[in-house]
Structures are given as structure tokens and as C-alpha cells.
Amino acid sequence: MSAPRTVAVQTLDHGLVVLEEPSWCVAVHPDGNHRSGIRHDGAEYAATVDVPGRGRVGFLKANLCQFPFAEYGSREITATVEIEGDYYEFDAAGLGDLAAAITSHVLYGLLPLRARLHALEGGGE
């Protein structure tokens, strides 16, 4: 077993901070931030779609995230998901609820809308 990885970050308020780097973290930790702003980020996952006139567009970007020295809010690992240009944090149960809402939207919103549009495009109505 290998030793835990560590990272050293020069902060504005606590000098040099040395901390363990989680195995899932792919972030670069820049110097010059406050200790509470140190953030671990995992690999980003995004849904993508081809949009006419724009090409491939990503949406619902999601990744693991943790602020190990947070002064407000949680220091726990969460999933951060981009929705309408803002980022929201979810625990495992909340991420399950989000997945269920997306699945429901696909099944009862987008697919019926697609069928309706298909019928209209074919002159079905």
C-alpha cells in the first residue's frame, strides 16, 4: 500500500497548509487563497448533445467536491451539479433524487414531447 498523497498550498491566512489529497481529487490547488477556499474536485461528468448551429454542448456537469476547511457549510464530500448556470451540492440521497427527477422528465416529458413533435413533422395532425 502506498503512502497517502499530500499537497501543500500557500494560503493568505494560514501560511503553508499541508493536507492529504483524496485519491479521487484531480484539482490543481493554487496558492493565494484562504484556507477555507481550498477545494478538492473530482473528475467532471457531463451529459452532451449536438445542438444545431453550436455543435456539441455539455450540460448537467457533475463532480465530487469537498472543502476540507470550510468555515460555513459542510466539510463532507458532496456531488456538485451545474443546473441553469449555478452549482448545487447533493449528498448521495439527494443525487439519487436528482437522477429520479431527470429520469421522470425523460420518460414523461421529453419522450412524449418527441412523439408529439414527430407526429407534427410528419403531418400527423
In this structure, are residues 18 and 8 in contact, taking their beta carbons and an 8 Å threshold?
yes
Cα angle for residues 73, 95, 28 (degrees, 5° grid): 60
Q: pLDDT tens digits, residue range 30-49? A: 999 999 999 999 999 999 99
Model pTM score: 0.83
Of the pLDDT bands very low, low, confident and very high (cuts 50, 70, 90), residue 123 is low
**Average pLDDT of span 80-101:** 96
The pLDDT assigned to 83 comes to 95
Query: H or E stretch including 1?
Result: none
The pLDDT assigned to 124 comes to 58
In the three-class reduction of DSSP (H, G, I as helix; E, B as strand; rest coil), residue 20 is classed as: strand
Each domain of the chain, given as residue ranges in start order, spans 6-90, 92-125
